[in-house]
Structure 1
Amino acid sequence: MSYSYVIINDNQENVLNIQSLADGFQNFRLAATANNYGDGLNCILEHQPQLVFLEIDPKDKASKLSLSLINELYRYLKEIPKIVVTAKNGNLALEAIKHEVFDYLIAPFELNEFRKTILKFEKSASSTVVTTPREPEQKPFFVDNDHSVKKDPEQLTICIKSYGDYRFIDAKDIQYFQADNNSTDIHLNNGEMITAFKTLKHFENVLPSQFYRIHNSYIVNINYISRIHTGNAVCYIKNTTTKLPFSKSYKGNVDQIIAVISSSGYLEI
């Protein structure tokens, strides 16, 4: 199988180094290179590669290369390519982990470390998700660095995976999602809150139909809405004192929520 990749780096020496190393692996094909934020974004959107080598500590600060380019990709792509961050040192490693990058390489790039990254990518690209549902009709929905799959909305299970720790959540138990920078807090009906290192936009693209985006910071489960006050622009969560604001840009979704709730078993007084 052939994989395309893009190099985004303002240091031409590093670009040539990465390309030279990648040329040693026959399944990889260079699609394009870029040396600044804007061109890099356009390269990814145009070629939609499977792998991106992204410099986040540029020599030329005017290039504006940083982890923020990853956030921008979620605005346009349903499936984000694997991002291998490159930098002069490991100072930005923690921030990169929060962005769920695939790997982190420090320049000058060594063949042995580069090979590990490539082999790990090939293993990830060729692997198949194997899960054991609690009931035959249940299909897990993974939220991790490797898989994001839309599944049956009736009995959806969401798996929050972090460093070998698998946390399974029934979608029906989720009241709402709340954005927290580049992560998302998941609020459950038992009062528990779980953090997933995915953006709210990511969840918006893959969640089933009972979840509605009502604000830049909130996605709500329609089954937990007890009241909608259009004058104050807030939604109330059942059996709690929680009020979620909704914004004008998502007013259409709120109108749709009202229409869905009133479509069956409904008596207006």
Structure 2
Amino acid sequence: MKKYSYIIIDDDAESILKTKTAASGFSELSFAASASNFQDGLNLVLEHKPALIFLEIEPRDLSSHLSLTFISELHRYFQDIPKIIITTDKKDSAFDAIQYGVFDYLLKPVAHIDLLKTVLKLKKANLESKSSDLTEEQPSIVIDNANSVTIPQNIQKPLTICIKSYGDYRYLNAEDICYFQADNNSTDIYLNTGEMITAFKTLKHFESVLTYPFIRIHNSYVINRNYISRIHSGNSICYIKNSTKKIPFSKTYRANVEQIIADFAAGNYLEV
């Protein structure tokens, strides 16, 4: 029988205990550790590499910094991240959680029957994975009136963002985007060429569908970490490469900026 190790990340000690108690009723689930804040939770995941993470995204203690951005952070370190099971007492963030590709969304306190459904889904996913490993993946064929083009679907392609408006399709390479700036109910997208394009979606929408290296640092800005040339903590400002643009960051998102600084330091890095 396959075992699934799990970590619980929740700022409420009582909730951790209740989730652990519910999970103890399933021999397939093996408890590894628990944490009450973003950084401790991340450290535990990197250390234990669990199959599952039970994650609270609407904490009572805001200083815990628990949110869906925890999932984005995992993508920095894992090719395939653990399966995320959201455990919270509100339904409000269910749609946003789906955009992050979570495996399941359970309301607290976690009920036995709900967790049973999750375990059954895990087993089904495991069987389907084994089945696909035994079957050679066939490439799909894209055909038009002139040509037939074979495109292997298992090749990872760079993300393309399509800005659609009244039959007009504008295609952007995500890696060319420096930052997004909110403009009421629309969002201005700034490219590394200096060009600006407006999309009729809110900044919150882009934050919910994009993952690392795109990071929210202000109510009005989501920034591409790869285009940051300087961070001035005293003035709460980020500078953009090859640009005079200065982007402010707010106290609400200071933890995200600290993660960016830590990310730079974790690379091929020399501080003088």
The TM-score range, normalised by the shorter chain, is 0.5 to 0.7
Letter in 1 for 2:38: Y
Which of these residues, 159, 162, 175, is aligned with residue 177 of structure 1?
159
The structural deviation recorded for 1:85 is: 0.5
* 2:196 corresponding residue in structure 1: none
Whole-Å Cα distance in 2 between the matches of residues 40 and 85 of structure 1? 14
Matched, 1:157 2:153: yes
Q: Deviations over 1:148-174 (max 9, x none)?
A: xxxxxx84126xxxxxxxxxxx98xx8
Whole-Å Cα distance in 2 between the matches of residues 117 and 137 of structure 1? 27
Q: Secondary structure at the match of 1:4?
A: strand
Contact 1:4 1:30 in 2 (8 A): yes
Letter in 1 for 2:4: Y
Whole-Å Cα distance in 2 between the matches of residues 24 and 123 of structure 1? 19
Q: Secondary structure at the match of 1:116?
A: helix
Contact 1:138 1:155 in 2 (8 A): no
Residue 117 to residue 193, structure 1, CA distance change in 2 (3 Å) = farther
Matched, 1:120 2:102: no
Q: Deviations over 1:66-112 (max 9, x none)?
A: 10000001111111110000111101111111111111111122111
Q: Secondary structure at the match of 1:127?
A: helix
Residue 18 to residue 130, structure 1, CA distance change in 2 (3 Å) = same
Letter in 1 for 2:159: F
Whole-Å Cα distance in 2 between the matches of residues 248 and 111 of structure 1? 46
Gaps of 5+ in 1: 141-153, 159-169, 179-184, 201-212, 218-232, 235-245, 250-269
Alignment length (residue pairs): 173
Q: Secondary structure at the match of 2:59?
A: coil
Percent of aligned positions that are identical: 36
Letter in 2 for 1:40: G
Matched, 1:6 2:17: no
Q: RMSD over aligned Cα, in angstroms?
A: 3.9
Residue 90 to residue 216, structure 1, CA distance change in 2 (3 Å) = same
* 1:92 corresponding residue in structure 2: 93
Residue 113 to residue 67, structure 1, CA distance change in 2 (3 Å) = same
Gaps of 5+ in 2: 141-149, 180-191, 194-225, 230-272
Residue 11 to residue 247, structure 1, CA distance change in 2 (3 Å) = closer
Contact 2:19 2:109 in 1 (8 A): no
Letter in 2 for 1:18: T
Contact 1:214 1:247 in 2 (8 A): no
* 2:52 corresponding residue in structure 1: 51
Q: Deviations over 1:184-222 (max 9, x none)?
A: x269xxx86799xxxx7xxxxxxxxxxxx66668xxxxx
Whole-Å Cα distance in 1 between the matches of residues 153 and 39 of structure 2? 38
**TM-score where L is the length of structure 1:** 0.54
Q: Secondary structure at the match of 1:108?
A: coil
Whole-Å Cα distance in 2 between the matches of residues 94 and 55 of structure 1? 15
Whole-Å Cα distance in 2 between the matches of residues 89 and 137 of structure 1? 40
Contact 1:8 1:35 in 2 (8 A): yes
Contact 1:32 1:43 in 2 (8 A): yes
Matched, 1:34 2:35: yes
